[in-house]
Structure 1
């Protein structure tokens, strides 16, 4: 699979497993959130069956455990949405990101116009910006992650990779040119994140995307976007403290 562009990567939905701790599952809360989306007529970015592209939709109403969604003006895309196994929808409500999956939407007519009907989602991801936004790490004193893996010779090797940015859900790393192969979907279960404060932090990583970036000097490098797998609450709090420190230091520099 060819590397994705960074712009395309940023538009992809979040992995619900990586952000499961932010999922709203109580049916009453889910209904309340969806009713608010309807009342505010918020637009949805709907990704069809894990496609990289999305269509823009809006929920017209909630109806007896189902959502009625205004059809897309593009007939071809509307037909694809109506035949999809799943639509992953994202929107923003009062600066909070919402994401939910709609299973097997059906094409219907609502108020005399084409529409889609789908059962309520079982859960809704609700994330504030501080919980998933990415912060670049310092270039002068970069943090690293040590990945231990089994090489072809049967021995276990440690590979140090530089972290380019970090969030509560994962990190982006600079791919080493030869030491370790990175492919989308690969999992590294024996990793150590070395933050400047405290002991090394054991983490598990899953490669979600790969893309090429060009540095200021014109040199092109590969970077990988990785998600944390099964991150504990304690580890999450530690990473968030580090991110708060990064943000505070950045603001102090800007004020000088």
Structure 2
């Protein structure tokens, strides 16, 4: 399952893809120099190996990786049709993959060898950063409800937004709090940017009591299979909110 999610990440985060060979080499070398651990996913969470970069060899177009002390796990890595890698560098998430990992010797010790990735994904903190949405004139998401929840399409105000999803307020408790439930064809009209339509999955639920003693429910929702152009629109809207906030702060200063 984790491997599938990582594949989806590599697909959905296309807009943050690094294609410069020089930049890829520099990033991988930094990961190796800082001894940053890398999660190597062969079959999702059921088969995860922690590795590290021993050396980047541009002349050979290869990356040398440490191998596991578990021989059977090493064999599964070598036999895999695709291996996914996930790590962080200075709090920036790095994702890449390889179609083939081979065994080799590095300074007399067993190691893995893979081709230098042609691309990788670099997700800076801003891409994960959640921006609060306006309170006075809230952005709303229209969510079509299934028949068992009353049917029809209902608007819900956003509390915040990131490139990974949104938080919404459900003060009438229309959606329930079923974690993992998907709602398809949800539409969000982003001011000055445009509309996006995507599936939302409820990831967490929090019941709150407001100052006026009324109850409200905040639901954290994840974008599922959001198209790349719409993901780019979300990023543009987040950037717009950031600029507006910074302008307000500058005015106060």
Same fold (TM over 0.5): yes
Gaps of 5+ in 1: 2-7, 252-256
Partner residue of 1:40? 34
Residue 225 of structure 1 pairs with residue 219 of structure 2: no
Residue 102 of structure 1 pairs with residue 98 of structure 2: yes
Aligned length in residues:
233
Residue 159 of structure 1 pairs with residue 154 of structure 2: yes
Partner residue of 2:13? 19
Structure 1 residue 247, shift from structure 2 partner: 8.9
Partner residue of 1:115? 111
Question: CA separation in 2, counterparts of 1:107 and 1:161?
Answer: 53
Q: Is the CA contact (8 Å cut-off) linking 1:97 and 1:128 kept in structure 2?
A: yes
Structure 1 residue 159, shift from structure 2 partner: 3.2
Structure 1 residue 246, shift from structure 2 partner: 6.8
Secondary structure class of the residue paired with 1:68: strand
Structure with the higher fraction of residues in helix conformation: 2
Question: CA separation in 1, counterparts of 2:46 and 2:67?
Answer: 20
Partner residue of 1:5? none
Structure 1 residue 104, shift from structure 2 partner: 2.6
Q: Is the CA contact (8 Å cut-off) linking 2:164 and 2:222 kept in structure 1?
A: no
Secondary structure class of the residue paired with 1:125: strand
From the superposition, tell whether residues 158 and 187 of structure 1 become closer, same or farther in structure 2 (CA, over 3 Å). Answer: closer
Partner residue of 2:166? 171
Q: Is the CA contact (8 Å cut-off) linking 2:127 and 2:235 kept in structure 1?
A: no
The structure having more radius of gyration, on CA atoms, is 2
TM norm structure 1 = 0.66
TM norm structure 2 = 0.67
Q: Is the CA contact (8 Å cut-off) linking 1:142 and 1:163 kept in structure 2?
A: yes
Question: CA separation in 1, counterparts of 2:156 and 2:10?
Answer: 26
Residue 56 of structure 1 pairs with residue 56 of structure 2: no
Q: Is the CA contact (8 Å cut-off) linking 2:202 and 2:220 kept in structure 1?
A: yes
Q: Is the CA contact (8 Å cut-off) linking 1:97 and 1:126 kept in structure 2?
A: yes
Structure 1 residue 129, shift from structure 2 partner: 0.5
Secondary structure class of the residue paired with 1:80: helix
Q: Is the CA contact (8 Å cut-off) linking 2:193 and 2:233 kept in structure 1?
A: no
From the superposition, tell whether residues 85 and 187 of structure 1 become closer, same or farther in structure 2 (CA, over 3 Å). Answer: farther
**Residues 44-73 of structure 1, C-alpha deviation per residue, up to 9 Å, x if partnerless?**
122324447743210112241122110134
Question: CA separation in 1, counterparts of 2:132 and 2:99?
Answer: 36
Gaps of 5+ in 2: 210-215
Residue 205 of structure 1 pairs with residue 202 of structure 2: no
